[in-house]
A and B are shown apart, each in its own frame.
Chain A
Amino acid sequence: MSSTATVLTRNAPHSEGIRSIPIGKIGIWWLLASEIMVFGGLITSYVLLRISHGGWAEQAAHVRWQLGTLNTAVLLTSSLTMALALSASRQDRRRRTATFLLLTVLLGVAFLGIKAFEYTGELREGFTPASGLFWSFYYGMTGLHALHVTAGIVVNLTFFVMAVRGDLWDGKQARLEYAGLYWHFVDVVWIFLFPLLYLS
Chain B
Amino acid sequence: METTSTAIAGSTHATPGFWRQYVFSTDHKTIAKQYLGISAFMALVGGLLSYLIRSQLAWPEKPVAGWGFVGPDSYNAFVTMHGTIMVFFVAMPLLLGAMGNFLIPLMVGAGDMAFPRLNRLSVWTLFVASLVLLSSFFVSGGASPAGWTGYVPLSDVPKYTGAYWGINLWLIALALEFASFLMGGVNFLTTAINMRAPGMTFWRLPLIIWMQVTASVIFLLSVGPLIGGAIMLFLDRTLHTGFFVPGKGGDPLLWEHLFWFFGHPEVYVVALPGFGAMLEIFSVFSREPIFGYRTIVYSTIAAGVLSFVVWAHHMFVSGMDPRLAAPFSVTTILISVPFAIIVFAMIATLWGGSISFEVPMLFALGGLATFIVGGVTGIFLGSEAADIYFHGTYFVVAHFHYTLFPTVIFGGFAAIYYWYPKMFGRMMNDALGKVHFWLTMIFFNAVFIPLFLLGIGGAPRRVYTFEAYNFLRPLQPLNVIATYAAVALLLAQLPFLVNFVWSLARGKAAGRNPWRANTLEWTTDSPPPHGNFTTQPIVYRDPYEYSVPGETHDWLPQNQAEPPAVAVAAD
Contact = CB atoms under 8 A, between A and B. Distances in A.
B101 to A, nearest CB: 15
Interface in B168-191: 182, 185-187, 189-190
Q: Interface centre among B6, B114, B254, by most A CB within 10 Å?
A: B114
Given A33-B220, A130-B241, A8 B111 contact: yes
A53 to B, nearest CB: 6
Nearest to B119: A13
A4 B4 CA distance: 9
A154 interface: no
Contacts of B112: 9-10, 13
A44 interface: yes
Nearest to A22: B194
A40 interface: yes
A35 B222 CA distance: 11
A35 B9 CA distance: 34
Q: Interface majority SS on A: helix, strand, loop or mixed?
A: helix
Contacts of B226: 41
Interface residues of B, number: 63
A37 B223 contact: yes
Interface string A2-24: 01111111111101111101010
Contacts of A15: 1, 3
Contacts of A36: 224
Contact of A49 (B110, B222, B251): B251
Contacts of B229: 41, 45
A11 B242 contact: no
A34 interface: yes
Contact of B111 (A10, A18, A130): A10
Nearest to A4: B198
B426 interface: no
B60 interface: no
Given A17-B194, A129-B239, A130-B240, A11 B3 contact: yes
A126 interface: no
A23 B195 contact: yes
B531 A6 contact: no
Contacts of A140: 231-232, 235, 241, 243
Given A11-B9, A36-B224, A41-B224, A132 B198 contact: no
A42 interface: yes
Q: Interface centre among B1, B26, B227, by most A CB within 10 Å?
A: B1
B223 A4 contact: no
Contact of A37 (B117, B118, B189, B222): B222
B228 A4 contact: no
B116 A30 contact: no
A143 to B, nearest CB: 9
B193 interface: yes
B217 to A, nearest CB: 8
A10 B116 contact: yes
10 contacts: A3-B2, A7-B536, A9-B8, A13-B26, A15-B3, A18-B197, A31-B182, A35-B224, A130-B240, A133-B249
List of 10 A-B pairs having minimum Cβ-Cβ separation, nearest first: A37-B224, A41-B225, A9-B111, A10-B9, A11-B9, A136-B241, A38-B224, A41-B228, A42-B228, A1-B4
Given A8-B111, A23-B190, A132-B248, 12 more contacts: A6-B4, A10-B27, A10-B530, A11-B3, A13-B114, A13-B117, A17-B195, A19-B194, A21-B194, A30-B190, A34-B186, A52-B251
